[in-house]
């Protein structure tokens, strides 16, 4: 008979491949009040399916507008998910010990995916729907490269060409994600480029332009519109993207069920909102129906780009060049170019319309942290749990640690679940800056925000 | 009732934390013929325990000389192992499909450890035994940084200081593993340094010396000898290091048992030999006793450093400066500085005495590949299985693919198990070189080896 050994506790909760969720959860079905529709950027009328179909695959537009509660995951998508899914839920016992907290802390680890974050959950689905509709190429933009590498991976599995417009500054300064995309066969173009009208125009006036996400989006959309075998792909913000990410929370629920746990607090970082939504929405479903009325959901953002905590709720464009539909969301204004913080994935002026509505209606809390605050937390996590977190995910960790310390002070039992949305192996220069003590804390002030959002006063109200 | 869905097969075999092996396997107990003992480098007499104790903790020396078959893993070590262990065994179905092979391919994935390779399996054990004997600091050398980061991690968990002499060329060219070590609190010193006599002497004559592993070892040992609260730590080659790594194979056996599989071929890359040994020895145990007489074990090395395939079997020094004991091993000569291939972990002139003896006695096969051969294989693995392999591990993958193709041609059912000993996220510049087509294929010729090993003819025979 095996003797029980003290101290050898289970940390990781796995889910067998057989038990992977077979459907995505669509929160639009259950929201007490739903967000208003996207508007045509020229007419300010609700945008039509045909207008969207120039850019996106029809299967994805259907999902964008659907209010069906559950949507089947195609078997071809599940097959690719199984390369890395289900991802583990891990009890962060070493972190708990270090914090001397009564809270039990769990993280869902999405960094085990091929490109190292949660992004492939939607990239694979988007590539699939485009493939079955006869699309031959997808275009997209990328900053530091997380989204671009996820889409490059997905395209390689479905035999699609992939063209990624990568912000030139990142293309030159962070070459390794570029290499990763190229290893999956993607065509990575520094933006602004000579391949588009938008790009050529900018290069004429500013030959050494470092580029921006706004410019890269415009280039990607221009290429998609000009060829009917090419579509555009977006990595966050939109309803169908958030839908695909719900596999995260659906798995996590099953995993916590196995150890008879249910969270009291769910935490994720937010840029466009997809990783937070992916983990939180399946739990929000319970909160809507009062089964878990006291459940708290916390969205964490950078103080340098405080969309929820300081932005205003308005219709606004998704990009600098006003090519996208007008979306009802919290925004810092479409002209805002966020400061160069290391959490590149959170440098977005807007926010998912669904999350914006949930926040406006009080279902979700939000808070913002500076760079040094989040790297302090990332180092604590690294030194206890042995994983280098992505700077984006470090925002969630900061909130987790603060809540765990509060639980200790209040002697309160909490069960905290958070999304460790990616690893930080491609962000070591950021950690080097932290060690050297040269990280800057940029905080957007109320005056800054007033200035940035002034013109939105004439835009439609959400 | 749940309907069975075709195509959703299990890829990953997990082992629960409860079932983690509680003992290491010591192959010395079962080897039909054992390797001869290490010799004092000055007297050429078998080295005494007291002589070894100047450098190593007593607990480790005991293990180095022990012939006990099973050695208990201390609970404090198991507790840290549980941060990432048991590691998964994965069925490489996507790779199998791409190769159209009847072979079933499994890999044990050690890249999930905090420092990204198998190295912490021994680093944690070594830090523990030093800690309980009152040692306060460990020193070591590192090339690209895999071993140094593993030891930095282990020391941080047991509250030991850690000083890593890092070959200066790597310190300057590959800063990210240095950052990783510093994040765990290690003191990383570019070698040659001004902190040791050896270092100062070299810097006097060659102020811009790029350093070498040989120099770094000498510096680390010099510091260890000069302070009785400081010991030295080695990441491969020695018996106790291989012992600690057997947890890999012991786990893998349990995991394959769960799916009723047993390998026909076990494959690993070899530098000093520890990751190959860790996976292979528990299976060799069966082969010794004829239960699995036909089992094949393949050690894979670089054509630029072909220790087993072209070296000679002789007593030789473990380092360039002749500070270590004389070891009975396959060697290319202690003066050999291997060419600058990307698989830094395999750039070692010698080989573990145990593996050398097993190879000499015909229990283990060996083969060598060039850089382009192994990166071809790494890319195939990456594009099918979605993991960037370390260049070291890519050597094993090349052999796996060749065996799988042979199985297809011969229409033979094989069950191949290999050690994916680490991830390649810190080796993206190597993949960039591959994509750009600038990787050099260096092959050591017989004439080179004759020249390098000539002086060994007067050394003791193993």
Domains with residue ranges and CATH for chain A? 12-21+83-116+240-458 (3.40.50.1100), 55-72+119-235 (3.40.50.1100)
Task: Show the tokens assigned to A348.
Answer: 């977005």
Range 6-65 of A in CB contact (< 8 A) with B: 6-12, 14, 16-18, 20, 22
Torsion sign over Cα B134, B140, B145, B146: negative
Instruction: Please compute, for residue B91, the number of CA atoms within 13 A of its CA located in the half-sphere on the CB side.
Output: 19
Disruptive mutation site among B425, B430, B439 for chain A (greatest number of A CBs within 10 Å): B425
Range 183-202 of A in CB contact (< 8 A) with B: 183-185
Alpha helices in A39-145 (DSSP H): 49-53, 58-65, 75-81, 93-99, 120-132
Q: Say which residues have a Cβ less than 8 Å from residue A393's Cβ, sequence separation at least 6.
A: A111, A269, A378, A419, A420, A421, A422, A424
Q: Report chain A residues whose CB lies below 8 A from the CB of B18.
A: 8, 10
Task: Please tell me the predicted confidence (pLDDT) of residue B5.
Answer: 43
Q: Is B83 on the interface with A (CB under 8 A)?
A: yes
Q: Is B431 on the interface with A (CB under 8 A)?
A: yes
Categorize the per-residue pLDDT at A170 as very low, low, confident or very high, splitting at 50, 70 and 90: confident
Task: Please tell me the predicted confidence (pLDDT) of residue B172.
Answer: 86
- Name the residue among B392, B409, B313 with its Cα closest to residue B353: B313
Q: Is A375 on the interface with B (CB under 8 A)?
A: no
Do residues A97 and A23 touch, judged by C-beta distance below 8 A?
Answer: no
For B387-408, what is the mean pLDDT? 98
Percentage, residues of chain A above pLDDT 90: 86
Task: Please tell me the predicted confidence (pLDDT) of residue B335.
Answer: 85
Is pLDDT at B3 greater than 70 in this prediction? no
Tokens 């299985």: give the residue.
B385
Categorize the per-residue pLDDT at A5 as very low, low, confident or very high, splitting at 50, 70 and 90: very low
Of residues B337 and B117, more confidently modeled: B117
pLDDT digits (tens, 9 = 90+) for A50-95: 999 999 999 999 999 999 999 999 999 999 999 999 999 999 999 9
Number of residues that make up chain A:
462
For A390-405, what is the mean pLDDT? 98
Residues B50 and B52: their CA atoms lie apart, in Å, by 5
Cis peptide bond prior to A166, omega within 30° of 0: no
- For B136, the 3-state DSSP assignment is coil
Helix (H) or strand (E) holding A298: strand A296-302
- Name the residue among B321, B433, B390, B399 with its Cα closest to residue B110: B390
Residues B377 and B404: their CA atoms lie apart, in Å, by 12
Task: Please tell me the predicted confidence (pLDDT) of residue A300.
Answer: 98
As to burial, measured by CB atoms within 10 angstroms (0-12 exposed, 13-18 middle, 19+ buried), residue B169 is middle
Categorize the per-residue pLDDT at A7 as very low, low, confident or very high, splitting at 50, 70 and 90: low
Q: Bridge partners of B39?
A: B46, B326
- Name the residue among B346, B423, B409 with its Cα closest to residue B378: B423
CB contact under 8 A, B75 and A8: yes
Q: Report chain B residues whose CB lies below 8 A from the CB of A17.
A: 8-12
Categorize the per-residue pLDDT at A8 as very low, low, confident or very high, splitting at 50, 70 and 90: low
Residue burial A3-29, b: 16+ Cβ < 10 Å; e: rest: eeeeebeebbbbbebeebbbebbbbbe
Of A11, A22, A425, the CB nearest to B425: A425
For A208-224, what is the mean pLDDT? 89
Task: Show the tokens assigned to A31.
Answer: 């929201």
Is pLDDT at A2 greater than 50 in this prediction? no
CA dihedral angle for residue A16, residue A424, residue B249, residue B343, rounded to 10 degrees: 140
Residues B262 and B279: their CA atoms lie apart, in Å, by 13
For A423-447, what is the mean pLDDT? 94
- Name the residue among B311, B353, B355, B352 with its Cα closest to residue B333: B311
Q: How far does A56 lie from chain B, in Å, by closest CA?
A: 26
CB contact under 8 A, A18 and B7: no
Would you give the distance in Å from CA B379 to the centre of its chain?
A: 22
Is pLDDT at A3 greater than 70 in this prediction? no
Categorize the per-residue pLDDT at B173 as very low, low, confident or very high, splitting at 50, 70 and 90: confident
Q: Of the spans A1-5, A40-44, A278-282, which averages the highest pLDDT?
A: A278-282
Is pLDDT at A4 greater than 50 in this prediction? no
Task: Show the tokens assigned to A405.
Answer: 């310390």
For B316-329, what is the mean pLDDT? 89
Residue A86: closest C-alpha in chain B: B12
Residues B424 and B410: their CA atoms lie apart, in Å, by 33
Task: Please tell me the predicted confidence (pLDDT) of residue B322.
Answer: 86
Nearest 5°: the CA angle A86, A89, A94 is: 150
Residue A10: closest C-alpha in chain B: B17
Q: How far does B243 lie from chain A, in Å, by closest CA?
A: 21
For B354-375, what is the mean pLDDT? 98
- For A367, the 3-state DSSP assignment is strand
CB contact under 8 A, B183 and A7: no
Residues B19 and B254: their CA atoms lie apart, in Å, by 9
Residues B57 and B233: their CA atoms lie apart, in Å, by 9
- Name the residue among A359, A361, A377 with its Cα closest to residue A369: A377
Number of Cβ atoms within 10 Å of the Cβ of A48: 10
Is pLDDT at A327 greater than 80 in this prediction? yes
Q: Report chain B residues whose CB lies below 8 A from the CB of A383.
A: 156, 183-184
Helix (H) or strand (E) holding B222: helix B213-225
Distances (CA, A) of B336 to B17, B213, B341: 43, 11, 14
As to burial, measured by CB atoms within 10 angstroms (0-12 exposed, 13-18 middle, 19+ buried), residue B289 is exposed
Least confident span in B230-244, B334-348, B437-451: B334-348
Residue burial B249-285, b: 16+ Cβ < 10 Å; e: rest: bbbbbbbbeeeebebbbbbbbbbbbbbbbbbbbbbbb
Range 110-169 of B in CB contact (< 8 A) with A: 112-114, 116, 153, 156
Mean pLDDT of chain A: 94
Residues A205 and A224: their CA atoms lie apart, in Å, by 24
Mean pLDDT of chain B: 94
Q: What is the DSSP letter of A154?
A: H
Percentage, residues of chain B above pLDDT 90: 86
Task: Show the tokens assigned to B312.
Answer: 């000679």
Categorize the per-residue pLDDT at A41 as very low, low, confident or very high, splitting at 50, 70 and 90: confident
Following DSSP, what letter does each residue of B285-337 receive, concatenated? HHHHTTTTTT-EEEEEEETTS-HHHH-EEEEEESSTTS-SPEEEEEES-TT--
ipTM strictly over 0.85? Answer: yes
Disruptive mutation site among B74, B78, B82 for chain A (greatest number of A CBs within 10 Å): B82
Following DSSP, what letter does each residue of B349-409 receive, concatenated? S---HHHHHHHHTTS-EEEEE-HHHHHHHHHHHHHHH---B-HHHHHHHHHHHHHHHHHHH
Q: Report chain A residues whose CB lies below 8 A from the CB of B116.
A: 425
Of A82, A385, A426, the CB nearest to B11: A82
Q: How far does A449 lie from chain B, in Å, by closest CA?
A: 36
Categorize the per-residue pLDDT at A144 as very low, low, confident or very high, splitting at 50, 70 and 90: confident
Is pLDDT at A132 greater than 90 in this prediction? yes
Least confident span in A167-171, B147-151, B198-202: A167-171
- Name the residue among A79, A396, A88 with its Cα closest to residue A255: A88
Is pLDDT at B232 greater than 60 in this prediction? yes
Is pLDDT at A184 greater than 70 in this prediction? yes
For B258-272, what is the mean pLDDT? 97
Is pLDDT at B8 greater than 90 in this prediction? no
Is pLDDT at A304 greater than 70 in this prediction? yes
Percentage, residues of chain A above pLDDT 70: 98
């Amino acid at each position: 008979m095996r003797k029980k050994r003290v101290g050898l506790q289970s940390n990781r909760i796995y889910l067998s491949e057989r038990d992977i969720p077979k459907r995505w959860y669509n929160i639009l079905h259950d929201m007490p009040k739903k967000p208003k529709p996207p508007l045509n950027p020229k007419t300010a009328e609700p945008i039509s399916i045909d207008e969207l179909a120039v850019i996106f695959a029809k299967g994805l537009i259907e999902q964008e507008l659907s209010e069906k509660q559950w949507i089947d995951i195609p078997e071809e998508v599940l097959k690719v998910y199984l390369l890395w899914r289900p991802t583990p839920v891990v009890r962060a016992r070493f972190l708990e010990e270090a914090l001397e907290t009564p809270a039990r802390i769990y993280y869902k680890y999405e960094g085990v995916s091929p490109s190292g974050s949660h992004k492939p959950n939607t990239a694979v689905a988007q590539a699939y729907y485009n493939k079955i509709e006869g699309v031959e190429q997808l275009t997209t933009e990328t900053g530091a490269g997380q989204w671009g590498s996820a889409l490059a991976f997905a395209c390689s599995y479905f035999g699609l060409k992939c063209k990624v417009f990568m912000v030139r500054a990142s293309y030159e300064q962070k070459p390794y994600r570029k290499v990763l995309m190229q290893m999956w066969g993607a065509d990575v173009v520094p933006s602004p480029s000579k391949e588009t009208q938008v790009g050529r125009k900018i290069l004429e006036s500013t030959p050494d332009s470092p580029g921006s996400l706004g410019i890269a989006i415009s280039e990607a959309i221009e290429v998609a519109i000009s060829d009917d075998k090419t579509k555009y792909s977006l990595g966050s913000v939109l309803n169908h993207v958030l839908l695909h990410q719900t596999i995260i929370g659906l798995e996590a629920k099953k995993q916590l069920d196995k150890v008879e746990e249910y969270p009291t607090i769910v935490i994720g970082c937010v840029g466009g909102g997809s990783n937070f939504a992916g983990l939180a929405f399946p739990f929000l479903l319970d909160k809507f129906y009062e089964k878990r009325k006291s459940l708290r959901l916390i969205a964490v953002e950078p103080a340098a780009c405080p969309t929820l905590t300081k932005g205003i709720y308005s219709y606004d464009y998704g990009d600098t060049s006003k090519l996208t539909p007008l979306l009802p969301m919290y925004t810092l204004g479409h002209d805002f170019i966020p400061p160069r913080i290391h959490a590149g994935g959170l440098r977005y002026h807007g926010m998912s319309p669904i999350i914006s509505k949930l926040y406006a209606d009080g279902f979700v809390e939000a808070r913002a942290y500076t760079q040094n605050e989040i790297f302090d937390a990332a180092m604590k996590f690294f030194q206890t749990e042995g994983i280098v977190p992505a700077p984006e995910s470090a925002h969630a960790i900061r909130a987790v640690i603060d809540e765990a310390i509060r639980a200790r002070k209040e002697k309160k039992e909490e069960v905290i679940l958070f999304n460790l949305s990616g690893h930080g192996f491609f962000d070591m220069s950021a950690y080097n800056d932290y060690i050297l003590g040269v990280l800057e804390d940029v905080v957007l002030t109320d005056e800054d925000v007033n200035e940035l959002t002034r013109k939105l006063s004439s835009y439609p109200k959400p």
